[in-house]
Amino acid sequence: MSKLPSLKNLSYLLALHQEQNFNRAAAECNVSQSTLSSGIQNLEEQLDCQLIERDHKSFLFTALGEEIVEKARDIISASEELLHYAQGQGNIMEGPLRLGIIPTIAPFVIGELSKNLQNKFPKLLLQLSEDTTQNLLHRLRNGELDILLLALPMDIQGNQKWILGRDPFKLVVHKELAETVGEPVDYDKLPDRSIFLLEKEHCMTGHAVAACQLTDSIKMNPFTATSLHSLVQMADARLGATFIPQMAIDQGILDNTDLVSLKPTGQEASRDIGLVYRPTTSRRQTFRKVAEEIARLLPVNTLN
């Protein structure tokens, strides 16, 4: 039987692909550049193929090299899962669990979720990371995260998902403006440029505009905020209105303000909340139990 590639050499290959620089990749792996180069050359010899085209000053991954990188990610992830499973002596709810969450969900679920998981599964080590959707998907692909809690619909890049529930949107306005716009909201009664939204990096902007059927762009203010809390402050200062998800309202984001929440236009003005994971994972049972705990915290639980 041929000698199998070592996990160490596969990890060198992944580091080089991510860093696109031999020095940085070696530093990431805590080895010398020559050690990393030798490891990748050994890998090429074992696989009997060229993974990297080199010249004096640069390199690039071959087409086959790119395919090997994807398979190496799966192998490293599966090996890590095997290690955690063995260390937990077969207990699927034991060991580290790396969960990525977008900023428009994280503040409103992580406290209760962490407490519930700690009570039910005390040996599960939850590691949380908050970032934008695209960054989280990139980290999931690279094996840096195990599961993601995202707002959908969204291109999840070939990963798999469970829809956990729905999170309705509300139009939030100062109480003095509420009677003017009515309910469901008549956007024509709002001044031009009076609706504030998040920066485009936040997927909630597209979800809210589409779900709430806001088609007249003149109603949108060109200023964009970085957080829901900033949107609330602008609305409370009578600068305009904004869309806020129900989970944030349930967690008291409008407390101590003069704001009211109104039903926007749209039959089901809401976003789906989903748990996303790699199709190659062997930890579906673990993820499903976590999904059930998250679904219980959502305004509308739809998990079957």
Q: Look at domain 7-86 and name its CATH class.
A: mainly alpha
Angle at 110 between CA 249 and CA 122, to 5 degrees: 145
* DSSP for residue 5: P
**Spans in the chain with pLDDT lower than 50:** 1
Helix-helix angle 284-295:106-120, to 10 degrees: 120
SS3 content of the chain, % helix, strand, coil (to 5): 45, 25, 35
User: Which pLDDT value is given to residue 2?
Assistant: 66
User: Which pLDDT value is given to residue 85?
Assistant: 76
> What is the rounded CA–CA span in Å between residue 272 and residue 232?
22
Q: Taking the domains of the chain in order of start, what are their residue ranges?
A: 7-86, 92-160+280-301, 166-270
> What is the rounded CA–CA span in Å between residue 62 and residue 50?
7
* DSSP for residue 144: S
**Residues 163-203: tens digit of each pLDDT:** 999 999 999 999 988 888 888 888 888 889 999 999 887 88
Angle at 91 between CA 85 and CA 96, to 5 degrees: 55
Tell me yes or no: is domain 166-270 CATH 1.50.10.10.
no
* DSSP for residue 2: P
User: Which pLDDT value is given to residue 304?
Assistant: 81
Domains 92-160+280-301 and 166-270 agree in fold: yes
Q: How far apart are the first and last CA of the chain?
A: 46
Report the chain's mean pLDDT, rounded to a whole number.
91
Name the pTM for this structure: 0.81
CA 157 to chain centre: 12
Query: What is the CATH code for 92-160+280-301?
Result: 3.40.190.10
User: Which pLDDT value is given to residue 212?
Assistant: 83
User: Which pLDDT value is given to residue 89?
Assistant: 64
User: Which pLDDT value is given to residue 189?
Assistant: 86
- DSSP labels, 53-113: EE-SS-EEE-HHHHHHHHHHHHHHHHHHHHHHHHHTTT-TT-EEEEEEE-TTTHHHHHHHH
